[in-house]
């Protein structure tokens, strides 16, 4: 046995040496780790049975590379991990130690909003104290549904010298593939086996603020034409088929008890339009239910009934959407559950019907308007969507078919923050101020969550921190908030007063004042790269309008001021104005980002735009004390 183990270890070292020598261009210098070998095998044993095996060898060179020896293996009712093994080798290929059972942690995965679920994970870490070292591990998973067919991701954040994916028994079922960044056909094509292989794969490209979909640069997706979860058969043959499958899971679950029907009709009895009925019922949903999930087995995809939600007052996204559809149905308004992959996961691959969804919202096509309802959100108005749901291709589940449509994308004017601050500055640099901050759209939603989650002194500290980014030695004396937990169709308003001990910087007989109290573009926000591989991505477009009027100490006059700026681009707008009169400085700053995604073709203009804003934001107004005669 020792001889066999020695031979295997020697082979690993030879494999590493051979690949590193042959693939020096791929590996480069000073890399944190190198994936020497990545083998994936999916053995299909029947229409609902398969075994997945992963074998990986990684050479780890630095402290930052240790994470490539950390492995997490997910499980649920239909996917079970049945085997794990691993070992660590030193630079010469000598065995340091093997992975033991006690090294493997088994834990349930419980986010705070999930009450019960069967998703679990097993995790372990292989590491040594001396670099470089090599880790090798293998694990196997048993699948009881091909719905979860794992994709092939041959690329990593470090070089990969060889990666393979083999499907065994593919002749037993019909399935389809979709390639992203891959053009190579299978290297092996037999009656019962199909294999893909890539060598010397360069690391995944990464840029700050890149679109979520561009993080996937090389992947092969698999989807069976027919699948089954539990005893619920479905199909990925088309989006219509996917919609019919979800419709079957939700069939009979939109009926409300008579007490609920009467409650709904009473609530909307004085409504003057269908839109007003939707708004009333959506507010009722927000006030009387909460987002909590029970995801056991098929329950991760099949909603609980509207009656169940009415009785228990909670549910996950699909449960609450079912309840919302049922309430609207009870007052004669058509509405449909809608499957969505949130924007942080990238864009839907329209031409590849498959398991791409992680969320459910509600679609309400009124005669004169279309409303989208995020039924898990309790701090937004009916018809608004959080940024994660905006601009997404979604599957509307109708009675006998499905329809792919795109959710609306908010505009810069929808996500607006306006501040108006007045103050008095002393010769010592102390500012006494009062003012108002208002917000709409996604800006207001994020601020509402932060204010609601922080109460008492914590809320005061949060507001002080938000105001004090550019107000040194801030003391927030008072604050008042309107429309925090109600009237979400109205702007959130915050009124504040306080002092800043070092707002004006003194130097001999001069005072330096920067009026940009709430918003500035920091120098670190400007990209340094001369070229861009991907678009620049923001969560949503927005507008900031900030006005400041401050009384300057008597005896001081304006010596120098930043020049007024007005910049108009296809993706944004920036303008500043100011004047000094009657002993007071009046300044206004407008920054508008009109596009959430800036194309590569506009990258140079975008960098120039941001540099100009930084230069203006950093420039102070200089006041000098008049010389007495």
Dig out the tokens for 362 from the structure.
């509600």
Residues 23 and 38 in one domain: yes
pLDDT tens-digit map of 465-498: 888 888 888 999 999 999 999 999 999 999 999 9
* Number of domains observed in the structure of the chain: 3
pLDDT at residue 22 tops 50: no
Answer yes or no: is 323 within a domain: yes
pLDDT tens-digit map of 556-603: 999 999 999 999 999 999 999 999 999 999 999 999 999 999 999 999
- Give me the percent of the chain exceeding a pLDDT of 90: 85
Dig out the tokens for 610 from the structure.
């941001």
Residues 374 and 388 in one domain: yes
Residues 225 and 260 in one domain: no
User: Is the pLDDT higher at 277 or at 5?
Assistant: 277
- From 341, 376, 406, the end of a domain falls on 406
pLDDT of residue 29: 63
Q: At what angle do helices 317-330 and 258-267 cross, to 10 degrees?
A: 70
pLDDT tens-digit map of 390-407: 999 999 999 989 999 999
Residues 272 and 217 in one domain: no
pLDDT tens-digit map of 198-236: 999 999 999 999 999 999 999 999 999 999 998 899 999
Q: Where does the pLDDT of residue 2 fall: very low under 50, low under 70, confident under 90, or very high at 90 and above? A: very low
Strands 219-224 and 193-201: unpaired
CATH number of the domain that residue 523 is part of: 2.60.120.1130
Dig out the tokens for 310 from the structure.
């009415």
Dig out the tokens for 24 from the structure.
């020096």
- Give me the percent of the chain exceeding a pLDDT of 70: 93
DSSP letter assigned to residue 183: -
Q: Is 297 helix (H, G, I), strand (E, B) or coil?
A: helix
End-to-end CA separation in angstroms for the chain: 100
Answer yes or no: is 411 within a domain: no
Residues 294 and 361 in one domain: yes
**Alpha carbon distance 85, 102 (integer Å):** 12
Quick one: which of 81, 93, 73 has its CA closest to 135? 93
pLDDT of residue 230: 84
- Non-local (6+) Cβ contacts of 580 within 8 A are 552, 558, 561, 586, 621
pLDDT at residue 13 tops 90: no
- From 229, 246, 275, the end of a domain falls on 229
Residues 216 and 69 in one domain: yes
Residues 22 and 166 in one domain: yes
pLDDT of residue 626: 86
Average pLDDT, the chain: 92
Q: Mean per-residue pLDDT for 87-103?
A: 97
**Which residues pair with residue 60 across a beta bridge?**
33, 133
Residues 204 and 306 in one domain: no
Is the pTM higher than 0.85? yes
Is there a contact between 461 and 433 (Cβ–Cβ < 8 Å)?
A: no
Residues 11 and 126 in one domain: yes
Is there a contact between 361 and 385 (Cβ–Cβ < 8 Å)?
A: yes
Q: Where does the pLDDT of residue 7 fall: very low under 50, low under 70, confident under 90, or very high at 90 and above? A: very low
Is there a contact between 168 and 94 (Cβ–Cβ < 8 Å)?
A: no
For 38-42, 182-186, 546-550, which range has the lowest pLDDT when averaged over its residues? 182-186
- From 229, 258, 281, the end of a domain falls on 229
Q: Where does the pLDDT of residue 6 fall: very low under 50, low under 70, confident under 90, or very high at 90 and above? A: very low
pLDDT of residue 311: 97
Residues 466 and 600 in one domain: yes
pLDDT tens-digit map of 133-189: 999 999 999 999 999 999 999 999 999 999 999 999 988 899 999 999 998 788 888
**Alpha carbon distance 98, 81 (integer Å):** 19
Is there a contact between 372 and 366 (Cβ–Cβ < 8 Å)?
A: no
Residues 225 and 240 in one domain: no
Range of the domain at 225: 2-229
User: Is the pLDDT higher at 108 or at 603?
Assistant: 603
- Non-local (6+) Cβ contacts of 146 within 8 A are 44, 47, 48, 50, 173, 175, 224, 227
CATH number of the domain that residue 362 is part of: 3.10.620.30
Strands 510-513 and 565-568: unpaired
């Amino acid at each position: 046995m020792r001889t066999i183990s020695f031979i295997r270890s020697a082979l690993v070292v030879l494999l590493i040496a051979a690949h590193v020598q042959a693939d020096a261009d791929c590996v480069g210098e000073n890399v944190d780790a190198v994936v020497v070998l990545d083998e994936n095998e999916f053995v299909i044993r029947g229409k609902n049975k398969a075994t997945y095996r992963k074998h990986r060898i990684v050479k780890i060179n630095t402290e930052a590379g240790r994470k490539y020896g950390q492995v997490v293996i997910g499980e649920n009712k239909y996917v079970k991990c049945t085997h794990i093994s691993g070992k660590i080798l030193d630079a010469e290929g000598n065995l340091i130690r093997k992975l033991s059972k006690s090294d493997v942690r088994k834990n349930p995965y419980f986010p705070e909003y999930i009450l019960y679920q069967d998703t679990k994970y097993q995790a372990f870490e292989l590491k040594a104290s001396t670099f470089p070292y090599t880790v090798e591990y293998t694990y196997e998973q048993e699948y009881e549904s091909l719905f979860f067919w794992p994709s092939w991701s041959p690329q990593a954040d470090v070089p990969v010298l060889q990666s393979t994916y083999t499907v065994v028994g593919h002749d037993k079922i019909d399935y389809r593939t979709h390639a992203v960044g891959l053009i190579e056909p299978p290297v092996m094509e037999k009656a019962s086996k199909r294999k893909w292989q890539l060598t010397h794969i360069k690391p995944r490209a990464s840029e700050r603020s890149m679109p979520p979909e561009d993080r996937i640069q090389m992947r092969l997706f698999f989807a069976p034409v027919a699948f089954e979860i539990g005893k619920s058969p479905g199909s990925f043959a088309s989006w219509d088929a996917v919609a019919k499958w979800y419709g079957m899971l939700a069939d009979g679950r939109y009926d409300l008890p008579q007490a609920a029907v009467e409650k709904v009709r009473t609530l909307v009895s004085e409504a003057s339009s269908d839109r007003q009925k939707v708004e009333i019922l959506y507010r009722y949903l927000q006030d009387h239910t909460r987002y909590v999930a029970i995801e056991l087995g098929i329950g991760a995809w099949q909603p609980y009934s509207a009656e169940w939600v009415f009785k228990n007052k909670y549910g996950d996204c699909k449960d609450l959407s079912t309840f919302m559809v049922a309430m609207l149905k009870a007052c004669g308004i058509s509405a449909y559950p809608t499957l969505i992959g949130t924007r942080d996961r990238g864009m839907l691959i329209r031409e590849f019907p498959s398991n791409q969804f992680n969320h459910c919202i509600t679609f309400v096509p009124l005669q004169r308007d279309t409303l989208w309802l995020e039924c898990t959100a309790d701090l937004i108005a009916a018809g608004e969507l959080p940024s994660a749901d905006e601009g997404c291709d979604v599957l509307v589940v109708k009675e006998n078919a499905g329809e792919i449509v795109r959710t609306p994308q908010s505009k810069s004017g929808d996500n607006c923050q306006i501040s108006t601050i007045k103050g008095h500055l002393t010769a010592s640099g102390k500012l006494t101020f009062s003012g108002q901050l208002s917000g709409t759209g996604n800006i207001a939603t994020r601020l509402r969550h932060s204010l609601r989650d922080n109460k008492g002194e914590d809320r005061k500290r949060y507001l002080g921190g938000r105001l004090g980014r550019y107000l040194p030695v801030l003391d927030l004396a008072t604050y008042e908030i309107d429309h925090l937990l109600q009237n979400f169709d109205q702007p959130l308003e915050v009124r504040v007063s306080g002092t800043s001990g070092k707002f004006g910087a003194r130097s001999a007989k001069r005072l330096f004042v920067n009026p940009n109290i709430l918003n500035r573009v920091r120098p670190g926000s400007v990209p340094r790269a001369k070229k861009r591989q991907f678009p620049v991505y923001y969560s949503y477009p927005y507008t900031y309008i900030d006005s400041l009027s401050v009384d300057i100490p008597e005896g001081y006059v304006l010596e120098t001021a930043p020049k007024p700026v007005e910049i108009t681009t296809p993706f944004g707008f920036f303008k500043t104005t100011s004047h000094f009169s009657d002993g007071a400085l009046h300044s206004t700053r407008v920054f508008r980002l009109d596009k959430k995604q800036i194309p590569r073709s506009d990258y140079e203009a975008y960098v120039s735009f941001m540099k100009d804003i930084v230069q203006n934001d950093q420039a102070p107004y200089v006041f000098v004390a008049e010389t007495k005669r």
